Chain A
Amino acid sequence: DVKVTQSSRYLVKRTGEKVFLECVQDMDHENMFWYRQDPGLGLRLIYFSYDVKMKEKGDIPEGYSVSREKKERFSLILESASTNQTSMYLCASSLHQGIGREKLFFGSGTQLSVL
Chain B
Amino acid sequence: QQQVKQSPQSLIVQKGGISIINCAYENTAFDYFPWYQQFPGKGPALLIAIRPDVSEKKEGRFTISFNKSAKQFSLHIMDSQPGDSATYFCAASIVLTGGGNKLTFGTGTQLKVEL
- A residues contacting B by CB (< 8 A) are 4, 30-31, 35, 40-45, 48, 50, 54, 56, 58-59, 90, 92, 94-97, 101-104, 106-109
Q: Are B42 and A104 in contact (CB under 8 A)?
A: no
Q: Are A102 and B93 in contact (CB under 8 A)?
A: yes
Given A42-B6, A43-B44, CB of A102 within 8 Å of CB of B99: no
Contacts A42-B107, A102-B101 aside, 14 further interface pairs with beta carbons under 8 A come to A42-B6, A42-B89, A42-B108, A44-B105, A50-B96, A50-B99, A56-B98, A90-B43, A102-B49, A103-B34, A104-B44, A104-B103, A108-B43, A109-B43
CA separation between A90 and B45, bound complex, in Å?
12
Q: Does B102 contact A (CB under 8 A)?
A: yes
Contact count band on B: 20 to 34
Q: Which chain B residue lies CB-closest to A31?
A: B100
Which DSSP category, helix, strand, loop or mixed, fits chain A's interface? loop
Chain A residue contacts of B106, Cβ below 8 A = 42
Cross-chain pair count, CB within 8 angstroms: 68
Contact of A104 among B9, B41, B46, B99 (CB under 8 A): B46
Q: Which chain B residue lies CB-closest to A6?
A: B43
CA separation between A103 and B47, bound complex, in Å?
10
CA separation between A59 and B42, bound complex, in Å?
23
Contact of B9 among A40, A43, A109 (CB under 8 A): A40
Q: Which chain B residue lies CB-closest to A54?
A: B98
Q: Does B65 contact A (CB under 8 A)?
A: no
7 contacts between A and B (CB under 8 A): A40-B9, A42-B108, A50-B99, A59-B104, A90-B44, A96-B99, A106-B45
Q: Are B100 and A94 in contact (CB under 8 A)?
A: yes
Interchain nearest-CB distance for A44 vs B (Å)? 8
Q: Among residues 34 to 85 in chain B, which have CB atoms less than 8 Å away from a CB atom of chain A? A: 34, 36, 41-46, 49
CA separation between A60 and B27, bound complex, in Å?
19
Interchain nearest-CB distance for A68 vs B (Å)? 14
CA separation between A108 and B43, bound complex, in Å?
4
